[in-house]
Structure 1
Amino acid sequence: MPEIVLVRGDITEAEVDAVVNAANSSLLGGGGVDGAIHRRGGPAILAECRRLRATRYPDGLPTGQAVATTAGNLPARWVIHTVGPVYAKRRSRRHLLESCYRESLRVADELGAATVAFPAVSAGIYGWPLDDAALAAVETVRTTESAVREARFVLFSDDVLAAFRAAVG
């Protein structure tokens, strides 16, 4: 199981083997982490995402799944795209959020990635309550068998960092 490291910062600057992108199902870029990764990584990421949409995922990447592309101009070697669930009060979708982390680690293992940077998947525009998003992330990474040595959560604000610190305990 990976060592968990928490840092406040910009995930597009993470010097790791793989960066996890909180993508939307289209894989074609968007806002937040997704937009930042596509902007900084450059056109090579979008080109691979378009190929994935034309072949393996014509209807988009399903929620909770993960797939890798080049990292383009990012310091990482790969981007692992995962689609987090939109929070819904009426029904539990936590299993899908947990799946994002498990599937990202599975893809990282397939790539041979030893270090992976994660954002707080679904904790932004998708509205997941911050404390629960942090718990789901930390608990899932802690309990998922993986050859990844370091799971680095690169968090964009002090409140998100505090929630992850509380989840780590």
Structure 2
Amino acid sequence: MTGPSAGGTTLTLVRGDITAQHVDAIVNAANSSLLGGGGVDGAIHRKGGGAILAECRALRASRYGRGLPTGQAVATTAGRLDARWVIHTVGPVHSADEDRSALLSSCYRESLRVAQELGATSVAFPAISTGVYGWPMDDGARIAVRTVRGAALTTLTDVRFVLFDEDAYRRFETALAAGG
């Protein structure tokens, strides 16, 4: 499904595997260690190969000794993926007691900023924090769509939300139709 454009940027929903996307940048829902994990993070590291892990280790040894902070983003090579870069961002763990939606929004905003600094024209996002981090899919979709639509997009002409299953796709479709 393709939604209304934000400026000159087309927002698209894709049901499938984010590691199979042909884009300039694939966003990784990483953990703060940057050293791989489960879900999207594990899939990106497995398919992208050791070059991604090597660059992540170098980032940990230099700028991010304590790990990448929640809501921030950093880029590495994409290794064997059909992309130029992987943009790693650490989403917040959902909390019923504390509003962490600004951190989730920051993941999308910071990833877009990094993509544009790299000169990317296309980027693919997963549904950040909606897996093991427990963020409710409806709210995660609303925050994702609203943040991307509200971002100042200068180089990006193609922003995709790549959703693993039909339920996530439907919830993002609802958010896209509602305008986020």
1:150 counterpart = 2:158: yes
What do the CA deviations read for 1:104-140 (whole angstroms, capped 9, x no partner)? 0000011000000000000111000010000000000
Deviation at 1:3, TM superposition (A): 1.6
- Aligned counterpart, 2:172: 164
What SS is found at the alignment partner of 1:153?
strand
What SS is found at the alignment partner of 2:44?
helix
* Unaligned ranges ≥5, structure 2: 1-5
Question: Larger relative contact order (C-alpha < 8 A, sep ≥ 6)?
Answer: 1
Alignment match of 1:14 (pick from 21, 34, 47): 21
Aligned ranges for residues 92-103 of structure 1 at < 5 Å? 92-103=99-110
The letter for the 1-side match of 2:169 is L
Alignment match of 2:135 (pick from 125, 128, 135): 128
What SS is found at the alignment partner of 2:12?
strand
The letter for the 1-side match of 2:115 is A
Give % identity.
Answer: 67
Deviation at 1:19, TM superposition (A): 0.1
Count of residue pairs brought into register by the alignment: 169
Aligned ranges for residues 2-151 of structure 1 at < 5 Å? 2-147=9-154, 148-151=156-159
CA distance in 1: counterparts of 2:84 and 2:101, whole angstroms? 29
CA-based RMSD of the aligned residues comes to 0.5
Q: Which TM-score applies when normalising by structure 2?
A: 0.93
CA distance in 2: counterparts of 1:149 and 1:124, whole angstroms? 27
CA distance in 2: counterparts of 1:40 and 1:100, whole angstroms? 23
Q: Which TM-score applies when normalising by structure 1?
A: 0.99
Q: Which consecutive segments of 4 or more residues in structure 1 shift more than 2 A?
A: none
The letter for the 2-side match of 1:156 is F
CA distance in 2: counterparts of 1:29 and 1:20, whole angstroms? 13
Deviation at 1:146, TM superposition (A): 1.5
Deviation at 1:150, TM superposition (A): 1.0
CA distance in 2: counterparts of 1:36 and 1:134, whole angstroms? 21
- Aligned counterpart, 2:3: none
